[in-house]
Chains A and B, each alone.
Chain A
């Protein structure tokens, strides 16, 4: 056998698979106690009752909803921005500015997350409290979403906006790649038909709507898993409400806050591994959906 290379390479590949497998197995195994004891109410009920010796009860509904809520806000805000950014970079920006913008987008994608957190805590939270939440509550207080009196900058909304900023480069990368790979002839053909630039862009955007869908799905997955930046601004309290002006929890910030003291309690480690399993389940389901869509529509992109 001259080909010694294959076993070496294969063992590296196998090792990665092994780690991934171990991760999934461990999480599942560790979540069994809480899931078998509480069943579905683990995710449908809210409460974080820790007690040494006494009854423990963990329900992560509030955190789960917080994750979904912040991710939804993030995607809703990031979508128009990343579509515009893609169009602007490909279609409108002069060459020089385009290079700068592309650099800035890549930089946003890779910037250490803790810097986002520090910035969110220092600038974004207070800014949103003063210039968004208070005015909205003041003028549209009758509307259920804004009826809560804003009291702090550490809220679901702040986490959502910060996440939107963090996933924008990621979504932009996907949309931009698709948009810029539309053949020239289409564009020229459209102008030849006498369309305005806006009309042409709208038609072209319709051609990449599958990529936009993939971007939404994968952006959602990204937002759901982000931990450090979110736990710095989300407020870290358990409560269910439709008001985005309230402090809340996300699953990842719940883990960041509680894992350090979990092993004091009998059931809490299991509850946190269970939360992690569910978080991973969400991300995975979203990723699988996104990748499946991407494959179906043969969309390619690079981070």
Chain B
């Protein structure tokens, strides 16, 4: 190796060392749910340019992925839609001063790819039938019964059902809703972040990674249907199906509706950042189910107290962060409780 070889090695070493010389700052690393991803990305891109001594990085890989990273201890904070299970909460709490609380509201919407259909009404039991596989074609009588105006419009084509392939809080919310609406679904599939999709075995399922993956698959495949966080459908101009809860009225989500539901759910729950939040989704969903748009969700922030940077970031969010379309802010009184 001549002098040029050594010079190359030297330059390489210099490059690998340079961050230690010029950027003593660090990164606050988070991962988890893709449900709040669009909101987090918006916050991050302003925060990271606001001259703070550290940057925030978030990898959306699903609520399960976030909880997995927290268990393995490889991130600073995580976001997860369903809270940690009591068992995991207790286990991780032993390692340090763990806190958890919902920090952003959203909704799961059902979106579809049906050329020429811009208004579609569905309910939990029909959705359960579709994902179970026995509602096979778009012009099924059970779909037409909810959409009498679409007779002759809905095609005789098989429905392609898109779902998440990763362990996902959005899936947890969606399957909880199906379980609430359909006894059969509750018995044969149940709910979870990762479930066994009956349509997969029939060859009519398709798995996507993250809310982004599901959105893309729905957009690319005609005659498909899937569920995503509200903001993704809004940003991508995807159609949103009207859903009905207990009342039987068909609606799409609204910001006011979300805040109202969250407000009453938080009052019923009466928990703080130090508490175990297991089971809160039931309260939230049942509140939503009986009041209006049934698929309301929130995402939790989980981290170990002691890293001042997270609090710095949270205070910034509280003061300067704006809420992007498709999400709603957590009621003010709750934020105050948390930050104090």
Contacts and interface: CB of A to CB of B under 8 A. Distances in A.
A261 B64 contact: yes
B312 interface: no
B50 to A, nearest CB: 30
A239 B64 contact: no
Given A49-B196, A52-B88, A235 B207 contact: yes
A284 interface: no
B167 A264 contact: yes
B204 A151 contact: yes
B75 to A, nearest CB: 12
Contacts of A260: 61-62, 65, 68-69, 166
Contacts of A152: 160, 206, 217, 220-221, 224
A238 B208 contact: no
A263 interface: yes
B221 A236 contact: no
Interface residues of B, number: 37
A182 to B, nearest CB: 40
A45 to B, nearest CB: 12
B82 to A, nearest CB: 10
B254 to A, nearest CB: 32
- Which one of B88, B165, B202 has the greatest number of beta carbons of chain A within 10 Å? B165
Range, interface on chain A: 20 to 34
B201 A247 contact: no
A47 interface: yes
A82 to B, nearest CB: 31
Nearest to B204: A151
Contacts of B197: 237-238
B2 interface: no
B204 A48 contact: no
B292 to A, nearest CB: 30
A84 interface: no
Contact of A148 (B69, B201, B203, B209): B203
Contacts of B88: 52, 264
Contact of B207 (A49, A257, A263): A257
A243 interface: yes
- Which one of B72, B197, B204, B223 has the greatest number of beta carbons of chain A within 10 Å? B204
Given A50-B167, A50-B193, A264-B167, A257 B200 contact: no
Given A151-B158, A241-B203, A261-B61, A50 B223 contact: no
Nearest to B32: A261
B65 A261 contact: yes
A172 interface: no
Given A263-B68, A264-B64, A154 B206 contact: yes
Given A53-B87, A238-B200, A247-B206, A149 B158 contact: yes
A41 interface: no
A154 B61 CA distance: 21
Contact of B200 (A49, A153, A237, A265): A237
Interface of A: 47-53, 126, 148-149, 151-154, 235-241, 243, 245-247, 257-258, 260-265
27 contacts: A48-B194, A50-B193, A52-B87, A151-B160, A151-B204, A151-B221, A151-B223, A152-B217, A152-B224, A154-B206, A235-B206, A236-B165, A236-B206, A237-B200, A238-B200, A246-B203, A257-B165, A257-B166, A257-B209, A260-B62, A260-B166, A261-B166, A261-B167, A263-B72, A264-B64, A264-B71, A264-B88
Given A237-B207, A258-B166, 15 more contacts: A48-B194, A50-B192, A51-B192, A52-B88, A152-B217, A154-B217, A237-B205, A238-B201, A239-B202, A247-B206, A257-B207, A260-B69, A261-B61, A263-B71, A265-B64
